[in-house]
Structure 1
Amino acid sequence: MKKFFYQNCLLLVATVLLFGSCQKEFSSGLENPGETPVELNSKVRSNISGFVTDENDLPVLNAAVKVGMQTISTDRFGYFEAANVEVPKNAAVVTASKPGYFPGIRTYIATANKAAFVRIKLLPKANAGTISAANGGTASLPNGLQINLPANAVVNAANGSAYSGTIHVAAHWINPTAADLDRIMPGDLRAIDENNTMKLLITYGMAAVELSDGAGNKLQVAPGKKAKLSLPLPASLTGTAPASIPLWYFDETIGLWKQEGVAQKTANGYEGEVSHFSFWNCDLPIQYVQLNLTVKNSAGIPVRYANVRVTNTANNSWSTGITDSAGYVQGAVPANSQLLVEVFYNGCGTALHSQSVNVGTSNVSLGNITIANSVNMASVYGTVTNCSNAPINARVLVQIGTTYYSYLAHNGNYSLGVSLCNVPSLNISVLAEDLSVGQQSSVQQFSIVPGTNNLANIQACGVTTSQFVNLSVNGTPYSFTAPGDSLAYFNNNQSSVSIRAFRSTGTGSTNSAHLLFSNSGLAVGSSQAFIEFTTNYITEPVTYSPGGAVTITEYGAVGEFVSGTFTRTATGLAAPNTIYNITGSFRIRRFN
């Protein structure tokens, strides 16, 4: 299905089922930037928060997130928050960066005194192959994405000097029918056309491409040269895909797509010439207006993380947005259209609310939308105290299924609205953190039901939040510590457990360590087989001596911590066959 995108940050895909309601009156007092010369100079102060995950939907620790002039890092849950940041009103940009991934970028229309929220899923830089710069050639991915470079058409991106060596091509095709398109695509599908007016795009597919040399230095298409880019087209879109379609590249500085060139339809997709590489998009432009609304439950509690889906009934193209801590969401929708607005929560297949809205050329504000208790809504209230049993300001992490949600307790009190979908009760996991002293609670399990739920007090105490990987190689110590360094734990019920530590030196190089051990009855006191250990602190190929073990000293529930120690001996393959005695310890939060 082709998609336009409801611009404000938080998005999810759900199925459609009507829930009867009276249509609310709507106002149009907002400034409309659509179909006007682009204005990006006006600034407002904005609050923004969100979660960053990898391609496996696991939290990304220590991703660099840039908003305006402020850069923050994600924590062990992949969560970030920036307050009172000055951003362009009509196109505020959030960029998440992590080595090995294309940047994850979201754009939103910022409103004074309104917070925004995003979920960003990073795309790994898949190896599409290598091309001789002198001879030119083609690199491709199995899904049909293809990059063709002519001979002598590449320069060093930093200084513009000609490059004649081997070109390494990293790429990723973004499927326009993907259920997680809202998380993986850059921007919000707003664009600047060739007449310098703002448009909303209907996408038929995107691609991310990066060229580099063997040392990782970025390359770019030389001035005056063109490369050929071929994008696959999903079978479900071939019937409506036009014979030719405008091409757009993503301007990462302003967070908007820009029109440049045309792609022609082929037997398998679209093909066009491009003058540089970044993100490219095959799209049809349409006029848009802004729409906003606020979702609350019958108790008046804002429903945060509600998924608002807006469908253009004329062609079934759709967009989604996720409500912020005030239950508010806003974004771009097609002008001159009849829309179906639906509210979903927690992946429920049934809409909690739906209404029809006729949109002209003015912006639309639907005001408050109230979700009735008759659709299995729960009002959840709880308290948090510290080690002295005093009420505190704390962060409360709620896990429903495999998804994390972040709330704040003010003076010890927090509340949230939750939909139970069509089940009589729902199990949730709750963890509270006292960020001021680095203490947290254990993970608490609760069963909630429709109506009012008063949860037992949670004491954010007893579990330190420290995380580290410490190792020694022939007596020389090395240490990685969160949040300054990136630490990652991966299990997912596989036969082995992976622990990674990573640190950028700031000079283009990195320090790292990777420990792989067996997953055989993981528990405190268990001894796991040592499978592999690699680190840049050992610079030559080695073989490992038989034996070696990883001893588990702490093994909490998901959301808590796993700790252990390890020992191993390795021998260098080349003379003088250096012996490496390796010992270490680790403590990392579990996410699976």
Structure 2
Amino acid sequence: MVAFALTHHISYIMKRTYLTLITTILLFACQKDAKEILTILRPEYIKTSIQGKILDDNQQPVAGATVVIGKHTTRTNARGIFRLDSIDVDIHASVVKVSKTGYFNGFRTFVANKGILNFVQLQLITSNIAGKFAAANGGTVTVPNGGSITFTGGSIVTAATNVAYTGNVNVSAHFINPILPELPQVMPGDLRGITTTGQEKSLQSFGMMAVELTDDAGVKLQLSKPATLTMPVPATLRATAPATIPLWSFNETNGLWKEEGTATKKDTSYIATVTHFSYWNCDVPYPKVSFQAVVTGTNGERMFDMLVRMKVENENYYAYGRTDSTGKVSGYIPAGKSLEITITNKCGNIVYIKKAGPFTQDADLGILGVSIPYGGNVIISGMAVNCNGAPVTKGNAFIFLEDNYYSAKISNGSFTFSMDRCDMSPTEVSLTVQDEDASKESAPSTFNITAGTYNVGTYAACAISTVEYFNITVDGTAYTAIPNDSLTGFSYWNNRNNVNMSTNKIWFNTYADGTTTGTFQLSDISLRTEKESYDEDMLSHATNQMTFTEYGGVDKYAAGTFSAKMIGRTTSNNINISGSFRLKIR
């Protein structure tokens, strides 16, 4: 299956000097067999966990971004990290949507693996206004980093109502250069597209454009008549850029590109007519075959978070993937092409090079043994027991190291981590073991490491309950959600606690201060049921409160109760809400 390169397994900020320029990316996933998909597959849901890191244009963490995956939502913490555990996602195309004011919406499409922790990483694009024009007159807007958009007069409508709009139009636009090293983090989707004949293909990009239209109040606008889009072709791609190229728009619902017309090459640019705005992409589709391998270290240990690159010899055509927690990598590679395999660790060190192919059918390369050319490899192993002292049979161990989370499955009580470090100075590690059968985990234990092998002994997964729940009563009607089965979470960012809950019948979101037990005032309360949407009754603001009976801090648990008065948006009816919860703080 296909997933986004540079996001499996652990979310790291890769130094740009270590990233390879690319003209295309065929995207990999972990563990699943990849097969050519000739028609759009119906959704098939699995339960899995997803963790990711959201960055801005300067590779800095984005705190407070809203992350939506299917029916599940959460927010990034101060480190730009989010995590959703035991959620239902489509196995064929799991779509991560990230939004925050001031940025274009970001999307990552990947094939999630069942029952493990999957990793993604996105870089949001700042939504700067490239220009504006009067809707009645039309005009041409030049995109600062390349390209232009030409609008005819009277061609704009309000997106929500489709009513003709005659005011000022603000055009936010950004050209996404396909040869830039950050392309895998910036581009939406995973460079999979559905052709006009219903075939799923891997795509080679020659240029992308993000466009958003708004009025002076920020209300979204859309086209009622076609506009002309001009995208520059990078100098290194002009010799191979076809005279006419398929044009694709991004489908935000299924996370795939949709073939929609063609673009024509004129001088050093592609010119296309578009009928709506989102993301647009000039791409050549290619056939593909599946690929899988297992990456191991010098002692046979499974190596995760290793970047695997499959380059077509003598062409600027690449496939990328990252190993998962079991060292496996799989996905799509170009069919019938001679390839060079390069494996790079997170520090930018090339640890494996080998030629392979060409392949005309699914390829299993077996074990790829890498060498660690420096003393930066860290192996941490230990034992996990339950409250009765017996080995944990179902659970995971978790490590937090240098602003990144690692997980390892516990097998017959034992666990092992194998990680690379770029900085050899001593640093602190936090370790927790979890017993899924008993819903218990150990208290976090910290110790210092540099490099080498560490046996940390035995840990009892018995100190802290991992049970989570969220209950809310709205005007006498009770609703219950279990985080593993719904869109519910608790996050701490920008010195505030955010609590959210969503099922198919109710959506609730609020904020509260406080980092200890005690009572604190609620703010920014929102509620939506099947019948009505509600806002906070500000006349009762002082008594709208949340009481924490447990507050352990980030990566620990918060529990408590809350109550507030709300007012209906359409009926103006006043109602009372109250609830109780216990959730892990992300």
Is TM > 0.5 for Structure 1 vs Structure 2?
yes
Deviation at 1:31, TM superposition (A): 5.9
Question: Is 1:37 paired with 2:53?
Answer: no
What per-residue deviation string (whole Å, max 9, x for no partner) do you get for residues 61-88 of structure 1? 2322222322233233222233443333
Gaps spanning 5+ residues in structure 1: where?
A: 17-27, 471-479, 488-501, 512-558, 561-592
Counterpart residue number, 1:265 = 265
**Pairwise mapping of residues 278-357 of structure 1 onto structure 2 (< 5 A)?**
278-349=278-349, 351-357=350-356
Partner SS for 2:450: strand
What per-residue deviation string (whole Å, max 9, x for no partner) do you get for residues 468-496 of structure 1? 778xxxxxxxxx43577899xxxxxxxxx
Counterpart residue number, 2:198 = 196
- Judged with a 3 Å threshold, the aligned counterparts in structure 2 of structure 1 residues 244 and 359 are, in CA distance, closer, same or farther, namely same
Query: Among residues 48, 67, 81, which one is paired with 1:79 in the alignment?
Result: 81
- In structure 1, distance between residues paired with 2:57 and 2:443: 28
Q: Partner letter of residue 337 of structure 2?
A: S
Question: Is 1:371 paired with 2:370?
Answer: yes
- Judged with a 3 Å threshold, the aligned counterparts in structure 2 of structure 1 residues 40 and 165 are, in CA distance, closer, same or farther, namely same
Q: CA contact under 8 A between 1:203 and 1:282: conserved in structure 2?
A: yes
- In structure 1, distance between residues paired with 2:499 and 2:44: 34
- In structure 2, distance between residues paired with 1:50 and 1:220: 31
Q: CA contact under 8 A between 1:62 and 1:486: conserved in structure 2?
A: no
Deviation at 1:418, TM superposition (A): 3.1
Partner SS for 1:342: strand
Q: Partner letter of residue 329 of structure 2?
A: V
Counterpart residue number, 1:10 = 8
- In structure 2, distance between residues paired with 1:428 and 1:322: 25
- In structure 2, distance between residues paired with 1:468 and 1:373: 37
Q: Partner letter of residue 291 of structure 1?
A: F
Deviation at 1:409, TM superposition (A): 9.0
Deviates more, 1:412-421 or 1:246-255: 412-421
Deviates more, 1:56-65 or 1:202-211: 56-65
Partner SS for 2:264: strand
Counterpart residue number, 2:418 = 417
Partner SS for 2:357: strand
- In structure 2, distance between residues paired with 1:251 and 1:144: 23
Deviation at 1:156, TM superposition (A): 1.3
Deviation at 1:329, TM superposition (A): 2.5
- In structure 2, distance between residues paired with 1:404 and 1:129: 39
Q: CA contact under 8 A between 1:382 and 1:457: conserved in structure 2?
A: no
Deviation at 1:255, TM superposition (A): 1.0
- In structure 2, distance between residues paired with 1:324 and 1:77: 22
- In structure 1, distance between residues paired with 2:396 and 2:19: 37
Gaps spanning 5+ residues in structure 2: where?
A: 21-30, 464-489, 501-509, 513-522, 537-553, 556-586
- In structure 1, distance between residues paired with 2:157 and 2:416: 55
Q: Partner letter of residue 250 of structure 1?
A: F
TM normalised by structure 2 equals 0.67
Question: Is 1:62 paired with 2:64?
Answer: yes
Counterpart residue number, 1:141 = 143
- In structure 2, distance between residues paired with 1:379 and 1:285: 41
Deviation at 1:396, TM superposition (A): 2.6
Q: Partner letter of residue 416 of structure 1?
A: F
Q: CA contact under 8 A between 1:244 and 1:262: conserved in structure 2?
A: yes
Counterpart residue number, 1:446 = 449
Q: Partner letter of residue 170 of structure 2?
A: H
- Judged with a 3 Å threshold, the aligned counterparts in structure 2 of structure 1 residues 15 and 134 are, in CA distance, closer, same or farther, namely closer
- In structure 2, distance between residues paired with 1:438 and 1:141: 52
Q: CA contact under 8 A between 1:339 and 1:359: conserved in structure 2?
A: yes
Q: CA contact under 8 A between 1:309 and 1:342: conserved in structure 2?
A: yes
Q: CA contact under 8 A between 1:446 and 1:455: conserved in structure 2?
A: no
Aligned length: 462
Query: Among residues 398, 417, 425, which one is paired with 2:401 in the alignment?
Result: 398
Q: Partner letter of residue 312 of structure 1?
A: V
Q: Partner letter of residue 417 of structure 2?
A: L
What per-residue deviation string (whole Å, max 9, x for no partner) do you get for residues 536-570 of structure 1? xxxxxxxxxxxxxxxxxxxxxxx99xxxxxxxxxx
**Pairwise mapping of residues 454-465 of structure 1 onto structure 2 (< 5 A)?**
none
Deviation at 1:250, TM superposition (A): 0.7
- Judged with a 3 Å threshold, the aligned counterparts in structure 2 of structure 1 residues 113 and 393 are, in CA distance, closer, same or farther, namely closer
- In structure 2, distance between residues paired with 1:467 and 1:84: 20
Overall identity of the aligned pairs, in % = 31
- In structure 2, distance between residues paired with 1:63 and 1:6: 20
- In structure 1, distance between residues paired with 2:4 and 2:245: 22
Deviation at 1:286, TM superposition (A): 0.7
- In structure 1, distance between residues paired with 2:6 and 2:48: 13
Deviation at 1:395, TM superposition (A): 4.4
- Judged with a 3 Å threshold, the aligned counterparts in structure 2 of structure 1 residues 468 and 324 are, in CA distance, closer, same or farther, namely closer
Partner SS for 1:352: strand
Q: CA contact under 8 A between 1:303 and 1:323: conserved in structure 2?
A: yes
- Judged with a 3 Å threshold, the aligned counterparts in structure 2 of structure 1 residues 217 and 384 are, in CA distance, closer, same or farther, namely farther
Q: Partner letter of residue 38 of structure 1?
A: I
Deviation at 1:92, TM superposition (A): 2.1
- In structure 1, distance between residues paired with 2:256 and 2:329: 20
Counterpart residue number, 1:546 = none
Q: Partner letter of residue 446 of structure 1?
A: I
RMSD, aligned α-carbons: 4.3
- Judged with a 3 Å threshold, the aligned counterparts in structure 2 of structure 1 residues 481 and 207 are, in CA distance, closer, same or farther, namely same
Counterpart residue number, 2:215 = 213
Counterpart residue number, 1:246 = 246
Deviation at 1:467, TM superposition (A): 6.0
- In structure 2, distance between residues paired with 1:192 and 1:311: 24
Q: Partner letter of residue 396 of structure 1?
A: I
- In structure 2, distance between residues paired with 1:295 and 1:249: 35
Deviation at 1:360, TM superposition (A): 3.2
Q: Partner letter of residue 170 of structure 1?
A: S
